[in-house]
Amino acid sequence: MAPFLALLKRDLKLAARHGLDSFMVVAFFVLVVTLFPLAVGPEQAILGRIGSGMIWVAALLSSMLSMDRLFQQDYEDGSLDLLVLSPMALELLVLAKTLAHWISTGLPLIIASPLLGVLMNVSSAGYGTVILSLALGTPILSLVGSIGAALSLGARRGGVLISLLILPLLIPVLVFGVSAVETGLADLPSRSEFLILGAMLLVALALVPYAVAAALRQALE
């Protein structure tokens, strides 16, 4: 695990040096949720009904902003070739870089979500449900997004291509994430929705690294 932790530490340091990327992700997340009440109106009942869905949609779109840079910088400076040739399995490399991406982008979104829940008139009893659903869902966004980042490596307008490739695959995550929050806010058992999100995360952890590794090998040939 030493190479895995070393790569994770390296990517987190790079993310800290380029802190503007993480700031832009959170700023976009806050901006989308903030502007939506201005368009819908100040009706508290309407905002409370659509609040969880808006938070989830904003989180999904925000996570896509920095996805094109997941492998691109290493690809351009040649570091990716060295990493692929290193003794560490390429699948572990993918997991390390995806985890670093989630820590630098997904985790701040989770932290900011309760504050935006207040703006969208989400019941205080549902804050824990929002946080838990995002904690299970945002890692899936980073994992599935890494597939698009690998497939679009070296392509022009990679960010747009990633969105076209990945957004249809993330619809089930969005549906069950929003459903888990709304079910919890209605005082109904939401265990099944969380179990499905957990199952999606486990499947993504098991399969995505192999798919991304194959895409990276193809891109570097």
- Residue predicted with more confidence, 192 or 153: 192
**CB-based burial label for 94 (10 Å; 0-12, 13-18, 19+):** buried
Record the pTM: 0.88
Query: Comparing 114 with 205, which gets the higher pLDDT?
Result: 205
Print the domain residue range for 106: 2-220
Average pLDDT score, the chain: 83
Q: Per the structure, how many domains does the chain have?
A: 1
pLDDT at 136: 92
CA distance 11 to 6: 9
Residue 59 Cα to chain centre, angstroms? 7
CA atoms of 152 and 71, how far apart (whole Å): 10
